[in-house]
Amino acid sequence: MLRLIERPGAHDLVRVPPSTRAVVSWNSDAPAGEIALIAHRAGGTVSPPLPYARWSPDERRSENGGDAETRIEVDVVRSDAALSAIGIASSVELDAVAVAVPPPSGARSAARSRTLELDVPRISQYSSAYPDARGWCSAAALAMLLRYHGVVANVPEVVRGVYDGAYGGTGNWAFNAAYAGARGLRAVVAYLNGIDHVAAFIDAGLPVAISIGWNADELPGAPLEHSEGHLLVVRGVDASHVAVNDPAHPSIATRYPRTALDLVFRAHGGVAYLVAPRERTADLVALANDAV
């Protein structure tokens, strides 16, 4: 489930269905700022402001704030007591803030046997100019979404814009959404309910970057034997396969068995980057919440 508030200013409260896990993402044009989160929990307890993130033209850092019941782990809020709402306290005005929680157990999206196949630019996560860079899948996937929506972007540029100095990498989900938002798009992190759910976005003309992980033999055709976390872009779905742009694959544009990709996507949490023109914000939220 995704809850999004446009133009919340510097402070707002986002109510969510009860959940022990959430991801908060934001969009802002401000070149520097800090965000803290206030956890509102079942039973009425409320946390103090928990440092979440800060950014400037020179650096971005996750803050990993927490109290006795709720803690922030880079980009995920985890709570021993179910969260009922998250307060946002920002040092700058935000253009949008979104809170995503996993869909309820048993939720399903409408079955879709075939979608459009979108023309998404192919971008590799590997660069001869940076031969030692191996973990740039998130930046490459985001660069593909940016270019699809007409925003000029290359991987090293995106890396500089999303690198988390505390985490030590480019895979901070919220920082990736913030970067796309700062480039004029609406971008959020969401939990989706499998490949059928992703397919709804494809039919609406919106490619989706999904986060997956797999062990040996779980994803036939994958360029790596296993991965604890990887991002790729889905651009089309048919009855048996999913058309993707995998930034780690030698061909980039490839296809994976639908059942296998669905399983590894769900098992890894179902997290996705949703990026759209700002005028399609309502469409993006409606599509994110179409699981029942």
Per-residue pLDDT tens for 230-273? 999 999 999 999 999 999 999 999 999 999 999 999 999 999 99
Half-sphere exposure of 210 (CA within 13 A, CB side): 34
pLDDT recorded at residue 127: 87
Q: Tell me whether the CATH fold assigned to 2-100 matches the one assigned to 137-288.
A: no
Q: Kindly state the helix (H) or strand (E) to which residue 156 belongs, with its residue range.
A: helix 155-162
Average pLDDT, the chain: 96
Flag whether pLDDT at 291 surpasses 70.
no
Q: What is the pLDDT of residue 128?
A: 80
Return all residues near 251 (Cβ < 8 A) that are at least 6 apart: none
Spell out a b/e string for 126-139, using b for 16 or more CB atoms within 10 Å of the CB, else e.
Answer: eeeeeeeeeebbbb
Closest to 249 measured CA to CA, from 238, 239, 261: 261
Q: Does residue 18 carry a pLDDT above 90?
A: yes
Q: Does position 30 have pLDDT exceeding 70, yes or no?
A: yes
Q: Which of 14-23, 24-33, 97-106, 204-213 has the lowest mean pLDDT?
A: 97-106
What whole-number percentage of the chain has pLDDT above 90? 92
What's the start-to-end Cα distance of the chain, in Å? 10
Is a pLDDT exceeding 90 seen at residue 292?
no
- On whether the CB atoms of residues 188 and 98 are closer than 8 A, the answer is yes
- CATH topology for 137-288 is Cathepsin B; Chain A (3.90.70)
* Percent of all residues in the chain with a pLDDT value above 70, rounded to a whole number: 99
CATH class as words, domain 2-100: mainly beta
pLDDT classification of 39: cutoffs 50, 70, 90: very high
Least confident of 59-63, 102-106, 236-240, 246-250: 102-106
What's the whole-model pTM score?
A: 0.96
**Domain-by-domain residue ranges, the chain?**
2-100, 137-288
